[in-house]
């Protein structure tokens, strides 16, 4: 990209003529081939989510600021408390094949002024993990924010959370650095690893997802023929 200079010959960022802050993400559902993403409704989703999460040993909550929950009542109470939140804005991922809810994710740190939004609070039950539905849900959420006009989409995690770091890069988020001693949660320190993609990155990343999600990319056992990381890897600005 050509470097811009002001009248003092100082380098400055590229201009954004006519920039208009994007709207807040809506609660309307998103439907894909493998999954449906819809706004969290505690009364509707709590039982299915709790049952699906029960197949996990408790590992899924290690790097989240809440959980594990003592029982269904505690989990339902937590869902009730976040259902009407607008930031974070929580969605539930339901598998099209089974009609069962298997995970949640949210938009958070929504910065309309600068066109920046983060994805987080991702909690997938074992049945949803490593499925086309799990990946497609992330794609649908990405596509929504860039269609709305956001310029930057972020992913942040505990720097010690190796699976989350690998997932971010598989999904096309580039590493941008680690903020030391950034957060305290569950009585312990968190160094935070930052990842992001921009609206300039998005067209190529979108093409990679569309190619990967094609039914022909999966064999008769449902195994992928081409890994998403093989398609997104060359698009990363930096790894870490």
pLDDT score at 2: 79
- The helix (H) or strand (E) run that includes residue 188 is strand 188-198
- Show the tokens assigned to 100: 């069962």
The reply to whether 230 falls in a domain is yes
The reply to whether 6 falls in a domain is no
The reply to whether 81 falls in a domain is yes
Structural domain of 138: 25-235
The reply to whether 18 falls in a domain is no
CATH of the domain at 215: 3.40.630.30
CA distances from 170 to 39, 83, 213 (A): 25, 29, 14
The reply to whether 140 falls in a domain is yes
Domain count for the chain, please give it: 1
pLDDT score at 222: 87
Give, rounded to a whole angstrom, the gap between the first and last alpha carbons of the chain.
24
Provide the residue-wise pLDDT of the chain in tens; the chain has 240 residues: 678 999 999 999 999 999 999 999 999 999 999 999 999 999 999 999 999 999 999 999 999 999 999 999 999 999 999 999 999 999 999 999 999 999 999 999 999 999 999 999 999 999 999 999 999 999 999 999 999 999 999 999 999 999 999 999 999 999 999 999 999 999 999 999 999 999 999 999 999 999 999 999 999 988 999 999 999 999 999 999
Instruction: Report the C-alpha gap between 205 and 76 in whole angstroms.
Output: 36
pLDDT score at 164: 98
pLDDT score at 128: 97
pLDDT score at 9: 93
pLDDT score at 3: 87
The reply to whether 50 falls in a domain is yes
Instruction: Report the C-alpha gap between 102 and 123 in whole angstroms.
Output: 9
Q: In 3-state terms, what secondary structure has residue 157?
A: strand
């Amino acid at each position: 990209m050509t470097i811009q200079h002001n009248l003092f010959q100082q380098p400055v960022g590229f201009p954004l003529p006519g920039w208009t802050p994007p709207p807040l993400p809506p609660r309307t559902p998103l439907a894909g081939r493998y999954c449906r993403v819809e706004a969290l409704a505690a009364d509707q989703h709590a039982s299915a989510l709790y049952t699906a999460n029960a197949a996990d040993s408790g590992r899924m909550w290690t790097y989240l600021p809440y959980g594990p929950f003592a029982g269904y009542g505690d989990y339902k109470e937590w869902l009730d408390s976040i259902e009407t939140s607008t930031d974070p804005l929580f969605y539930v991922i339901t598998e099209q094949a089974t009609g069962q809810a298997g995970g949640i994710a949210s938009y958070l740190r929504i910065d309309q002024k600068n066109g920046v939004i983060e994805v987080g609070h991702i909690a997938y039950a074992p049945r949803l993990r490593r499925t086309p539905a799990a990946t497609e849900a992330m794609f649908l959420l990405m596509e929504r924010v860039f269609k709305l006009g956001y310029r930057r989409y972020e992913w942040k995690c505990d720097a010690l959370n190796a699976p989350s770091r690998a997932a971010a890069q598989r999904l096309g988020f580039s590493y941008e650095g680690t903020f030391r001693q950034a957060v305290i949660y569950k009585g312990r320190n968190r160094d935070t690893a930052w990842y992001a993609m921009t609206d300039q990155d998005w067209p190529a990343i979108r093409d990679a997802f569309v190619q990967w999600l094609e039914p022909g990319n999966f064999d008769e056992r449902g195994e992928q023929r081409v890994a998403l990381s093989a398609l997104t890897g060359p698009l990363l600005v930096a790894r870490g």
